[in-house]
Amino acid sequence: MGTAAAEDVAGLSPDDRRDEITGYVNRMQRTRVEELAEIFGVSAMTIHRDLDHLAKDGRLERIRGGARAITARLAERDVKLRRHLHAEIKQKLAATAATLIEPDAVIALDDSTTVGALGAHLEARQPSTVITHSLALMGIVSSLPNIALVGLGGQYYQETDSFLGSIVVEQAQRLTADAVFVSTTAIKNHALLHPDAEAALTKRSLLKMGGRKILVVDSTKFESSGMYHVMDLGEFDDIVVDDGLDAATRTELQRLGPRIHIATTSTKANS
C-alpha cells in the first residue's frame, strides 16, 4: 500500500477502517500491528483494539504482534469464519447468481455461505417462495413480506447455522422448486464433493427437487479435497464462478454442458 493509498484510509470511521484492515490482511496473509498503525495513521493501541474486534467477529486470526488471514481449512470448521472468507468474491458471485432468479419462482437455497449471500438480493428479485435449511436465510426471508418461506427443520448444527440430516431430507423429498442454488467446499474429477456426510446428503436432496440446478462456487474450490459425492458437474444447468478460474478449467466446464456465468471480481480486475 503506497502513500496515495495511505492517504485514502486516513480519517476512516472505525467500521470502515476495520473493513480495510480485513482486506489488507487477506491480501498480505499476515501483518504486524506497527505496519497497520503506520498505514492507517492511528496508534498501535487502536490497531490492537481493531484486531481484537475483528478476531472476535471471525474476520481474521490474532497472532503475537499482529494478525493473519483466516485459512480455508480453519474457516471450514466455523460458519462465522466462512462468512468472511473470500467475502468480496462471494458478494460478486451472489450478484451474478441473483440474475438467474425468475420473478415469482419457487427457489431452494442451501446453507453454504456463498449461497447465503443471495439473501441480500431476494427482495429485488422477488421469487414467490424460498425453501431453505439455513437458519440465517430463514431470518432474512421471514422479514420480506412478499416472499413465502418454507423452512426445512431437523437437527440444528451451530457450526453450519443450519438444519441437517434425515428429517431435512424427508421434508425436501416432498417439495419441488423451479431452481435450486447450492455451493460446496470441493470440486474434483468433474464432481461436487463435501467432507461431511450429512451435509452432502442434504445438498443432494435439495438438488433432487427438480427444476434448474445452479452451482455457485468460487474458483478456489476446484481440485480441493472432499470425501462424499454430491452430484456430477454435468448434471447442473448453470455454474456461476468467478473470473479467477483458469482458462483450461473453464473450457472443460463448458464441455460438460452447463451454462457458465462469470462473475467479474476486483481481484482479477486489479491484477
Res 35: pLDDT: 94
Res 56: pLDDT: 78
Give me the residues paired with residue 32 across strands. Answer: 66
| Residue 83 pLDDT > 60 | no
Q: Among 134-148, 198-212, 214-228, which is the least confidently predicted range?
A: 214-228
Mean of the per-residue pLDDT values of the chain: 86
Name the residue type at position 50: D
Band the pLDDT of 84: cuts 50, 70, 90.
low
Instruction: Report DSSP state, residue 69.
Output: P
Res 109: pLDDT: 98
- What average pLDDT score do residues 216-240 get? 88
CATH class held by domain 3-69: mainly alpha
Q: Name the strand (E) or helix (H) holding 10.
A: none
Res 75: pLDDT: 47
Tell me, yes or no, if the pTM score tops 0.75. Answer: no
Res 197: pLDDT: 81
Helices 44-56 and 14-28 sit at what angle, rounded to 10 degrees?
80
Band the pLDDT of 268: cuts 50, 70, 90.
very low
The answer to whether 48 and 67 have CB atoms below 8 angstroms apart is no
Band the pLDDT of 8: cuts 50, 70, 90.
low
- What average pLDDT score do residues 251-266 get? 91
- The domain limits of the chain are 3-69, 82-269
Band the pLDDT of 42: cuts 50, 70, 90.
very high
Give the ranges where the chain is alpha helix by DSSP (H): 3-9, 14-28, 33-40, 44-56, 72-75, 79-82, 87-98, 113-116, 122-125, 135-142, 166-172, 197-207, 247-256, 266-269
| Residue 151 pLDDT > 70 | yes
Please state, in angstroms and as integers, the Cα–Cα distance from residue 60 to each residue in 32, 80, 258, following that order.
13, 11, 35
- What average pLDDT score do residues 228-257 get? 93
Which CATH architecture group holds 82-269? 3-Layer(aba) Sandwich (3.40)
